[in-house]
Amino acid sequence: MDGFSFGGRAESWATDDLRIGVTAMEDETGVSTQRGAGVDLRYQMGDNSFVQLDYAESEGPGFETSLSDDGGLVFATNTGVDGTGTAAKIEAQLDLADFGSSRSGVVGGYFEDRTEGFSTLDHTVTADTGDERLYGVFANVEKTDDAFGYRVYADIYENAVGDERTEVGAELSGDISPRLSYDLGIENLDEREDGVDGNRTDVAARLTYAVRDDLDVYIFGQGAVASEGLTDNDRVGLGVNGAFGNGWKVGAEVSDGTGGLGARVLATQTRSDNSTAYFGYELDPGRALDAGVAAADNGGKYVLGGTRQISDQVSMFGENTYDIFGTSQELIGAYGVTYSPTDFLSYTVTMDVGQLRDDADGDIDRRALSFGVRYEDESLRAAGRIEVRNDDFEDPDRQDTNAFFVVAKTDYRLSDDARLLFKADYARTEANGASFQDGTLVDASLGYAYRPVDNERLNVLARYRYFYDDVGQEVDGVSSAGPVQESHVLSVDGSYDLNQQWTLGGKFGGRWTDSAATAGAELASNDAVLAVANARYHALNKWDILVEARHLELIDAEASETGFLGAVYRQVGDNAQVGVGYNFGRISSDLTDLTFDDQGLFLNIVAAY
């Protein structure tokens, strides 16, 4: 592949109270590289009291985001912003209990500074804002039987182009009686950004009455008592949360105010035979305001579904959602049946039907049918699923597609010492359009694992793998795809524990391959032999050090290459390890990897059965 991403974090408690952490990542696209690194210090004064310092730097083109409205067939991409920047933050939180207070609560604050060009997966600082600064304070004290609770806060945002946003508020909560409680709030918003310049002060109140232990009703309201230059955010409403007869639980709320009506209801029922039913509706006026959609075009989202236990062996499930928003109406249904003739065996059939009616971008019809089976006893664990899917587009510029998928996995225990392992993935896509390529992917393997119970020092895995890819993987949005191939791979992996500190391991494999650099090019023989040798030292409790040598002999190319790597691993639980290391060579231990781009840092996760 032309691109890869890796990252890691290391942290250590220098003392019982002081933690030091380091984080780094690199995203290599083949065209450019995004890098980020950070360090943090945390001083822990109590279970919920701390002071933390964070500093980070980033360099590169930023991160692209991709959105799809058709289930991943076609994406719209928002490009990242190239640049170099830094971010620094200090935050503190003090638990009142750690300082002798009889009340439960916390107080704290934060200050953060981000320079233009700094980018992460969550946030990018662009030239539109310039350098950014955020700071604030807060206090939150919980209510008791004889004292009210309160929360106060102030959050301020500033940037280099003059934008400012300040939110200052206070909230109060308490009990009027054992069944009647109240919540009060006031907030002042001062905003000068994106062409908006104004100030607004809102007040809010909520009164909750506990009719019984499992039934609450409430009313609420909020409104602006002073406003200049900002849109009001007024709303009044009432709601109920409760449990009713026959296993029903209902939560419902209705309100009116800025942006129009709002509503939410969800009712669920659980029966004694484990059957369930639920229905709901949500009308979110904020969704329409954020998207610039008129309130009249926001019809809300409906959901209806449930499960039904027909007998001890048969259960059914189904769900329908209907979403009316803007120029589109979306109806999606999923239905299925599970049949379990024994405690070990179950079959599942699922049907998905979707319709998107869009006056602006055209209609889409989706139909999918899948069949799954699962079996598990003391000797055999097996599962598989077949799915057929069709997407029909009204827009002639977008492709109609047919897809067929198969996944299967089997683990058969031959004896206490040996197992047979089988895994297969198959995908076939046919498209009537130029924007989505036809293709087939097959990845199937059959392996024999041997680990004698009376000599657990030895582990051996012999495997045959068939790999077919006539499309080539598209990497990091680059328009040209990677190599295509048809490969047969035989390999043997093994390891042996010399003692409690040292483990020796190795791998030997051969590849018989026909490949081409891109789809459509003429295939040529590309056979190879790979030899790997490694040594692992169990240095400390739960820590390992690995050194490894790899040699790849390219038979048809009459060339060879040798590489070395080192890594440090940390034991996580009883059956997994997480390691970070550096590969000084270009070759991979995967014989179906036809590229030579593995040099550099890597993160590896190893799981054992």
Question: Residue 159 and residue 114: Cα distance in Å, rounded?
Answer: 9
- Find the range with the poorest average confidence among 23-37, 186-200, 246-260: 23-37
**Per-residue pLDDT for 532 more than 90?**
yes
- Beta bridge partners, 430, equal 402
**Per-residue pLDDT for 527 more than 80?**
yes
pLDDT of residue 549: 95
254-257 CB contacts, 8 Å cutoff, 24+ apart: 255/220, 257/222, 257/233, 257/285
**Per-residue pLDDT for 480 more than 60?**
no
Q: What is the DSSP letter of 246?
A: G
Residue type, 48: N
Question: Residue 450 and residue 453: Cα distance in Å, rounded?
Answer: 9
**H or E segment and range at residue 288:** helix 285-291
- Find the range with the poorest average confidence among 166-175, 307-316, 333-342, 431-440: 431-440
Residue 349 pLDDT grade (very low, low, confident, very high; cuts 50, 70, 90): very high
**Per-residue pLDDT for 477 more than 50?**
no
pLDDT of residue 475: 46
- Numbers of helices and strands, H then E, in the chain: 1, 36
**Per-residue pLDDT for 1 more than 50?**
no
Question: Residue 239 and residue 73: Cα distance in Å, rounded?
Answer: 41
**Per-residue pLDDT for 193 more than 70?**
yes
pLDDT of residue 476: 45
pLDDT of residue 290: 66
pLDDT digits (tens, 9 = 90+) for 35-58: 888 999 999 988 889 999 999 998
Beta strands in 14-147 (DSSP E): 18-28, 33-46, 49-60, 65-67, 76-78, 83-95, 105-114, 132-141
SS (H, E, C) 52-81: EEEEEEEEECCCCEEECCCCCCCCEEECCC
pLDDT of residue 127: 84
- Find the range with the poorest average confidence among 140-154, 421-435, 446-460, 508-522: 421-435
Residue type, 324: I
pLDDT digits (tens, 9 = 90+) for 356-404: 777 766 778 889 999 999 999 999 999 999 999 888 877 666 667 888 9
Does residue 166 contact residue 122 with C-beta atoms inside 8 Å? Answer: no
pLDDT digits (tens, 9 = 90+) for 5-39: 677 888 888 888 999 999 988 877 656 778 888 99
The reported pTM is 0.63
Q: Residue 342: which residues within 8 A CB-CB, separation 6 or more?
A: none
pLDDT digits (tens, 9 = 90+) for 448-467: 999 998 888 999 999 999 99
**Per-residue pLDDT for 59 more than 90?**
no
Q: What is the DSSP letter of 522?
A: P
**Per-residue pLDDT for 213 more than 50?**
yes
Does residue 61 contact residue 27 with C-beta atoms inside 8 Å? Answer: no
pLDDT of residue 604: 82
Share of residues in the chain with pLDDT > 70 (%): 89
pLDDT digits (tens, 9 = 90+) for 221-239: 999 999 998 888 899 999 9
Q: What is the mean pLDDT of the chain?
A: 87
**Per-residue pLDDT for 326 more than 90?**
no
pLDDT digits (tens, 9 = 90+) for 100-137: 788 899 999 999 999 998 888 778 888 888 999 999 99
pLDDT digits (tens, 9 = 90+) for 66-90: 555 555 545 556 666 778 889 999 9
**DSSP three-state, residue 103:** coil
**Per-residue pLDDT for 205 more than 50?**
yes
The token pair at 493 is: 């992996």
Question: Residue 96 and residue 119: Cα distance in Å, rounded?
Answer: 36
Phi, psi of 203 (to 5 degrees): -125, 150
Across 483-505, average pLDDT: 93
Q: What is the DSSP letter of 97?
A: G
**Per-residue pLDDT for 573 more than 90?**
no
Give residue 376's Cα distance to chain centre: 29
